[in-house]
Amino acid sequence: MKRIFQLTMILCAMMITSSCTQSGKNKAMVTKETYGTHKGKEVFLFTLTNKEGNVLKLTNFGARITWIEVPDRSGKKENVTFGFDTFEGMLRGDPYFGAVVGRYANRIAKGKFTLDGVEYTLPLNNGPNSLHGGPGGWHSSVWDAEIVERTEFPTVKFTWHSPDMEEGYPGNMHVETVYTWSDKNEIVIDYKCTTDKKTVLNITNHAYFNLHGAGNGDILDHELVIKAARFVAVDSTLIPTGELREVAGTPFDFTTPAKVGARIGEDYDQIKHGKGYDHTFVLDNKEEVDCSLYEPVSGRLMEVISDQPGVQFYSGNFLNGSRIGYGGKPFIHRSGLCLETGHFPDSPNHPDFPTTILNPGETFTSKTVYRFSVK
Ligand code: GLA
């Protein structure tokens, strides 16, 4: 009895509960528990419950989204994002699932770029190129974390101090990622970055989605809309050639709803280079919603809203079943897809692309919303 009491007390001490608004159906809240330790720092798991009783889980390891539990048309709730049963599983698993990726999401050709006549060299971790901020990028950092009190909705803020020359990038950078889980089942992500030296930046979230529920088959039947008249054409190492190609008449036309799998096997140079879709679309930015993803069986709909110039649509082409996720289910080929909002790959080497330079004294801010509903 005494032992049970002690254990309960320890568990209570591990869990800090912060309540938000209390009116409505449920009590919206955030709880925090210990998840593990890494690089000498404590890793936490945050559970955000909105008034609808839907759950978003986050961790400060990589400022990740690890769980998004939303209802289908009949009200049945299921987690629709990739993750692992334990922190150890996450450490062994795919490095990017749900993570905030920086300093530079996607690729920089040959790991080199020049700023004011100074050439910077980055670690090569993707064939001849540098990918996702290098092997020690922000996806692998243990961020500082705080539950933001007195907000309308459950909110958690992650901060990271990225030191000068971290993974080869100049400038001390202060990075903030704030996640808010609204009562309309919107994950609102607010990024804020400052630097003390001229540098480059491309920040994104790398969550994988499967609206059947993570681990339940592939995403080829999902219907996708991307409001983009052009996409960034790439070479066989997925580096932009410089061409912004019209989507019209190609397998890249998602301006009206199309199944992900409908044209993914076509004999088309860009599909071959990506082994499927692994391309940045140039967002038209004319309407509120930039992308929508609909899964007809469950009725789940996910809308993506971004203030960025592009979105990387990655159809999970490198997933091969070797990673095991929640409930022992393997992540099979194309069992999830990503819609990563941000800038174009390799922009530091393409002066005609929207700039990714951040100067001292400037503050980079950006917002991405993933909104879940049914239809
Ligand atoms: C991005 C890249 C892909 C792949 C994944 C991570 O989306 O464009 O090629 O590297 O990340 O596996």
Residue pLDDT, tens place only, 17-64: 444 444 456 788 999 999 999 999 999 999 999 999 999 999 999 999
Residue 334's nearest CA partner among 246, 284, 259 is 259
Give per-residue burial for 221-253: e unless 16+ CB within 10 Å, then b: bbbbbbbbbbbbbbeeebbbeeebbebeeebbb
Q: Tokens 């049970």 identify what position? A: 4
Residue 153 Cα to ligand 1 midpoint, Å, equals: 32
Bridge partners, 365 (sequence order): 192
* CA-proximal residue: ligand 1, atom 6 (nearest): 96
* CA-proximal residue: ligand 1, atom 9 (nearest): 278
Residue 311's nearest CA partner among 242, 254, 358 is 254
Residues in the chain with pLDDT values less than 70: 1-25
Under 8 Å between Cβ of 339 and 81: no
Pocket of ligand 1 (CB under 6 A): 96, 106, 131, 238, 278, 312, 314, 318, 338, 340
**In the chain, pLDDT over 90 holds for what percent of residues?**
92
- In testing the pocket of ligand 1, which one of 97, 202, 271, 318 has its CB within 8 Å of the most ligand atoms? 318
Q: Give just the sign of the alpha carbon dihedral 28, 34, 35, 37.
A: positive
State the pTM of this model.
0.94
Tell me what pLDDT residue 27 has. Answer: 84
- In testing the pocket of ligand 1, which one of 96, 205, 231, 275 has its CB within 8 Å of the most ligand atoms? 96
Under 8 Å between Cβ of 363 and 194: yes
Number of neighbouring beta carbons within 10 Å of residue 371: 17
Residue 312 Cα to ligand 1 midpoint, Å, equals: 9
Residue type, 63: A
Catalytic one among 52, 167, 223, 340? 340
Ligand 1 nearest-atom number relative to CA 314 = 7
Q: Tokens 């009895």 identify what position? A: 1
Tell me what pLDDT residue 2 has. Answer: 38
Tell me what pLDDT residue 233 has. Answer: 98
Cα 327-46-42 angle, rounded to 5 deg:
95
Residue 241 Cα to ligand 1 midpoint, Å, equals: 18
pLDDT tens for 144-203 read 999 999 899 999 999 999 999 999 999 999 999 999 999 999 999 999 999 999 999 999
* CA-proximal residue: ligand 1, atom 11 (nearest): 106
Residue 1 Cα to ligand 1 midpoint, Å, equals: 51
Tell me what pLDDT residue 28 has. Answer: 86
Ligand 1 nearest-atom number relative to CA 274 = 9
Catalytic one among 139, 206, 222, 350? 206
Whether 206 sits among the annotated catalytic residues: the reply is yes
